[in-house]
Structure 1
Amino acid sequence: MQTIRTAILSFGLSGKVFHAPFIHQHPGYELVSIWERTKSASVEIYPYVKIVRSFEEILDDENIDLVIVNTPTGTHYEYAKKVLEAGKHAVVEKAFTSTVEEAIHLDQLAIEKNKVLSVFQNRRWDSDFQTVQKVIKDGLLGTVLEAEFHFDRFKDELSPKKHKETAGPGAGLLYDLGPHLIDQSICLFGMPEAVFADIRTLRTHSQVDDYIDLLLYYSSVRVRLKSGLLVKEPIPSFIVHGSVGSFIKSRADIQEAALLAGEKPDQPNWGEEPVSEMGLLNTKIHGTEERRQVPTLAGNYGSYYDLLYGALTGKNDNPVSAKDGIRVMQILEAAVKSNRDKKVIDL
């Protein structure tokens, strides 16, 4: 089995929770290096991994095949560019870049260097979204006419991470949780024709946006995407209405909480939601009215790394291509312009 020798550029929440556990457990990857600027936190969990103190150590290491760019959004373009120029494959966290222009340039560079460039959109493999996707694909709602997706939290205090709360490229909720919602919409409905956005700052002393309301215009379906950091009582996160029925579902994927608690993704029943979080389907099937709960599919972020391994070894397509990332960036930029100009922006 071909081994993909991998390095991670940060061991904060992203590296520790979303990347290292899945790279570690996959037989096709070898976690070689982790860039920790001053700490050595990774040694307790991965004592076999080399801790490096500079980005250049990773770029100069000819034994590294793949680099995970999971640093703050404003650095994604610079780091991913250098990774590709060093002849290595790259996975870039969301938001892919700070601008569409940067995203297009990275895509072109990856093609020029014949390297795989992938965007880490792990929320495609959330249990809740997987279930919504299956309900729609199976035709249980008929023709989808309206969809509303929420990604809400309650965080009235500012984050201690300065890059998250300091105004600048890629900062704010639009570029933090917005890419998840937008990517999920594109997965289900394709690229919209236009965008209207209302983007606000509601928390006291916040310097960045913490509320977004996006309306994506399609010819046959109305899609609304919302996210806020002052939502104390959650409502259904997925509301989908079709020509014969409706489906509502909570955002209840357990993987992030399990990983934060130190659980390993190779354990039995990984990614299975509580039965109490099943979605509600109200529809008509073969002329018969049905109103019932729908069992939730298990989530698994490891599926991304399985598919990425296939892409790196020439067995399947890139699970989340740079072009996927470009599409998300185009909608993000259109949303910023729409909010500024208070008008619908054509794509």
Structure 2
Amino acid sequence: MSSASSPIRIALIGYGYAARTFHAPLIQSVAGLSMELVASSRPGQVQAELPGVPVESDPLRAVVAPGIDLVVIATPNDTHFPLAQAALRAGKHVVVDKPMTPDLSEARELSATAKAHGRILSVFHNRRWDSDFISVRQAMREGLIGEARHFESRIERFRPQVRDRWRERPGPATGLWWDLGPHLVDQALALFGWPDTVQANLAQQRSGATTDDWAHVVLGFGAIRAILHAGMLAAIPGPRFVVHGTRGSLVKAQPDRQEQQLIAGLRPGDPEWGIDPDPLQWRCDDGPLQTRAAVPGDQSRFYVELAQAIAGEGPNPVLPEEAIRVMAVMEAAMRAASEGRAVSPELPL
């Protein structure tokens, strides 16, 4: 296993959008991490973009490959459990892209396996390090608008054409709620804790859609209501965050730009990395509208903190228990939507 003086050797499983856009560039930006192997059915693309990195066609062979310390799984959701389970049993640390698994019982089993083998299991809830969320969380902690009572978090896009990809086909943990919902739920739980109630409505709105492409979920935390919304027909998206409190309101209109920066070739450490030009706006006690600069984001912090945790120098950046809570709320929302009623989610042990 890697020591403080040697790099943490990584096998990246899958080389689709999430792996190419997020995992590979973020991993390569962090000192002490070394990409040693990629599992992919497209070796030419991997070798063109990651010269010199070996490619393995069989993901199950890759997750147990000798000489690998950390396995990063960025494959379709229904493969997360068997790949992560095999890696943990082979003595590897594991990162699973969100959602942890398609099924809550599988998520619990993975956590138990990690504990039994003394390995770190983490889930890539990268949106905790977004500029928009960090800015809103800081303002709320400062009591800028008093105590929050109404919270809106939305991720809206304009993609009117259904694409032929696994996320938009029927299957375990597919559809928009399972794609964007984990981000929305994870941030809400980080701010407010465990919800008392979950209400949900899911729909297929685009011509040819075979999975949900619109989601509206309301979490109740005592007097607080957290509205989580996602859609694919928003040519003019609503604000990323809106919070109404006992003394005023705040708005963060535009989303974090790191995904677009990564696509454009920017990397952590570049001068513009994580900079968000859209300010936080708020009004308090009937005073004037005020603004202040957004706090920069940095999703590479996930891998920085993970490397520290593997070296025994810090905590796991996303604990399995936290990801399991997200899974429980995700499943509660599916049940609420199916039954057409509010449900009370059971807090996982």
When the two structures are superposed, what TM-score results if normalisation uses the length of structure 2? 0.95
How many residue pairs align between the two structures?
A: 341
Displacement of 1:97 in angstroms is 0.6
Take 2:187 and 2:203, find their aligned partners in 1: how far apart are those partners?
Answer: 22
Q: Where does structure 1 lack aligned partners over 5 or more consecutive residues?
A: none
SS in structure 2 opposite 1:230? coil
Take 2:52 and 2:195, find their aligned partners in 1: how far apart are those partners?
Answer: 46
Q: 2:313 aligns with which of 312, 315, 330?
A: 315
Match of 2:28 in 1: 24
Q: Where does structure 2 lack aligned partners over 5 or more consecutive residues?
A: none
Displacement of 1:45 in angstroms is 2.9
Displacement of 1:342 in angstroms is 0.7
1:187-211 Cα deviation digits (max 9, x unpaired): 1111111101011111111110001
SS in structure 1 opposite 2:43? coil
SS in structure 2 opposite 1:316? coil
Take 1:81 and 1:201, find their aligned partners in 2: how far apart are those partners?
Answer: 33
Match of 1:243 in 2: 246
Structure 1 range deviating more: 46-55 or 148-157: 46-55
Contact 1:2/1:313 (<8 A) preserved: no
Match of 1:334 in 2: 332
Which amino acid counterpart does residue 114 of structure 2 have in structure 1?
A: A
1:169-220 Cα deviation digits (max 9, x unpaired): 0100110000000001011111111101011111111110001110101113
Which amino acid counterpart does residue 74 of structure 1 have in structure 2?
A: D
Match of 1:113 in 2: 117
1:215-254 Cα deviation digits (max 9, x unpaired): 1011131111111111111111100011112110123211
Q: 1:125 aligns with which of 126, 129, 137?
A: 129
Match of 2:163 in 1: 159
Match of 1:298 in 2: 296
Take 2:266 and 2:164, find their aligned partners in 1: how far apart are those partners?
Answer: 25
SS in structure 2 opposite 1:95? coil
Take 1:112 and 1:250, find their aligned partners in 2: how far apart are those partners?
Answer: 44
SS in structure 2 opposite 1:67? strand
Which amino acid counterpart does residue 19 of structure 1 have in structure 2?
A: H
Displacement of 1:266 in angstroms is 2.4
Displacement of 1:268 in angstroms is 1.4
Take 2:321 and 2:121, find their aligned partners in 1: how far apart are those partners?
Answer: 10
Match of 1:136 in 2: 140
Contact 2:40/2:59 (<8 A) preserved: no
CA RMSD of aligned residues (A): 1.4
1:54-80 Cα deviation digits (max 9, x unpaired): 224323422100011110111111111
Match of 1:229 in 2: 232
Q: 1:99 aligns with which of 98, 103, 106?
A: 103
Closer, same or farther: CA 2–242 of 1 in aligned 2, 3 Å: farther
Take 1:59 and 1:180, find their aligned partners in 2: how far apart are those partners?
Answer: 26
Displacement of 1:159 in angstroms is 1.8
Which amino acid counterpart does residue 310 of structure 1 have in structure 2?
A: Q
Displacement of 1:46 in angstroms is 2.2
Poorly superposed stretches of 4+, deviation over 4 Å: none
Contact 2:10/2:37 (<8 A) preserved: yes
Displacement of 1:290 in angstroms is 4.6
Which amino acid counterpart does residue 238 of structure 2 have in structure 1?
A: I
Take 2:198 and 2:106, find their aligned partners in 1: how far apart are those partners?
Answer: 21
Match of 1:201 in 2: 204
Take 2:42 and 2:126, find their aligned partners in 1: how far apart are those partners?
Answer: 28
Contact 1:40/1:51 (<8 A) preserved: no
Task: Give the 5 Å matches for 1:209-228.
Answer: 209-228=212-231
Displacement of 1:34 in angstroms is 0.7
Displacement of 1:2 in angstroms is 4.1
Task: Give the 5 Å matches for 1:74-93.
Answer: 74-93=78-97
Match of 1:282 in 2: 283
SS in structure 1 opposite 2:268? coil
